[in-house]
Structure 1
Amino acid sequence: MDQQRTDRLPPLPLETLTEAQRTAAQALIDGPRKGVKGPFIPMLRSPELLDRVQRVGEYLRYDTVLENRIGEFVTLIVAREWSEPFEWSTHYPLALAAGVAQSTLDDLAEGARPQTMAQDEALAWDFTTELTRNKGVSDGTWQRALQQFGEQGVVELVGLIGYFTSVIMLLSAAHTPAVNPLPLPVLPR
């Protein structure tokens, strides 16, 4: 992805915000994100959508039944699928802090199936890549995911994949830059 592209929907000047935009922005500032960043910068143009989407994301990031390590790893798998620098750069240190191995993330950055994954990470990799690449999940992977994560966990796993796919699509379309981008080679399509 060309890091030098022009930001199509840059931050809005505070004095130009509507009351609805101010309210949506304040909810982000007051919540666990502590600011209007990444996909929420372009999404601020639709404050009602921002409010609804950010609440889904807040649940999936901070209150899901999935272990934080799995959530961060899945987020990076989706970011890698899209070669998307903002979410990659944001969630990479979070994944490390949550316990994903450096070697796992190194392989993922290169677009390879990581060689060193915990069993639940390997299952999350299989599930996420099957869903994103094949537009479905095999019966075997589905059953393994149910055994590992339970029904609620599988539903929230799909929700997490869908949420990050959606915000990454907006970041990609709007050319929203990463603040401190980490190296992420663009994968061939």
Structure 2
Amino acid sequence: MSRYPPIPPSSLTMEQHHAYDEASEICSGVFGHKFLYKDEDGAFIGPFAPLLHTPSLVDPFFKLVVELGKLPGLPAPAREIAILATGTRFKSKYELYAHERVATSTSLAAAQIESIKSGKKPFGDDALDEQGEVAFDVAIELSHKHGPMTDANWKRAEQAFGKEGTAALIQYVGVYAYTCVLLNGVDAPVPEGESY
């Protein structure tokens, strides 16, 4: 059970209810039915449950998520590789659960996703393409070490994605590092009956 348990819609304050309605609309449009973000009572779970305890942050959080999705230059498989690689650094159960399901809607194979979730870059027959390898390496470096990204990875990212795509990659790692910290701080579980 999360340290900030899901709040049933009937128990929300007026401010929380406004945030809930806005978040529901955005989640439906951005995530669809790829993973569970509400429980059987309609209460938000995952990172969205603790956000409702700070309702003034719901709007900025979702604006960031929506705008992040509009950034050019980073293909969906590379984006999901970066998100999953970041999740492995923080061992964030819910993040890995949710984005494993999102990643399956891209061109990534199940074996590649499993390898990334375990913190290992896929190799051999399951090796990633060049963009995937760069996304993995950059996400692992940024989420694991202190200090600036190496020039080598910067140049690889610029070559693979251009300046815009590299900026998007860095933003994704940063936003999902924040999301993982939020999830781990509240000990957000994987939905009942689901695995990660």
- TM-score, structure 2 normalization: 0.83
CA pair 58-38 structure 1, distance change in 2 beyond 3 A: farther
Counterpart in the other structure of 2:35: none
Query: Do structure 1's residue 63 and structure 2's residue 70 form an aligned pair?
Result: yes
Conserved 8 A contact 1:88-1:182: no
Is the Cα contact below 8 Å between 2:81 and 2:116 reproduced in 1?
no
Please give the alpha-carbon distance, in whole angstroms, between the structure 2 residues aligned to 1:18 and 1:100: 41
- The code of the aligned residue for 1:168 comes to C
Structure 2: distance between partners of 1:80 and 1:14:
32
> Taking every aligned residue pair, what percent have the same amino acid on both sides?
24
Where does residue 131 of structure 1 map in the other structure? 142
Displacement of 1:93: 2.2
Q: Give 1:103 shift.
A: 2.3
- Paired with 1:91 and 1:81, the residues of 2 have a C-alpha distance of 14
Deviation at 1:174, TM superposition (A): 0.4
Aligned length in residues: 177
Runs of 4+ aligned structure 1 residues displaced above 4 Å come to none
Structure-2 separation of matches of 1:64 and 1:171: 24
**Within 5 A, what are the aligned runs for 1:94-133?**
94-115=102-123, 116-133=127-144
Alignment gaps of 5+ in structure 2: 33-37, 39-43
TM-score (norm 1): 0.85
Picking from 147, 158, 163, the partner of 2:175 is: 163
Counterpart Cα distance in 1 of 2:65 and 2:184: 18
Q: 1:176 is paired with a residue of what secondary structure? A: coil
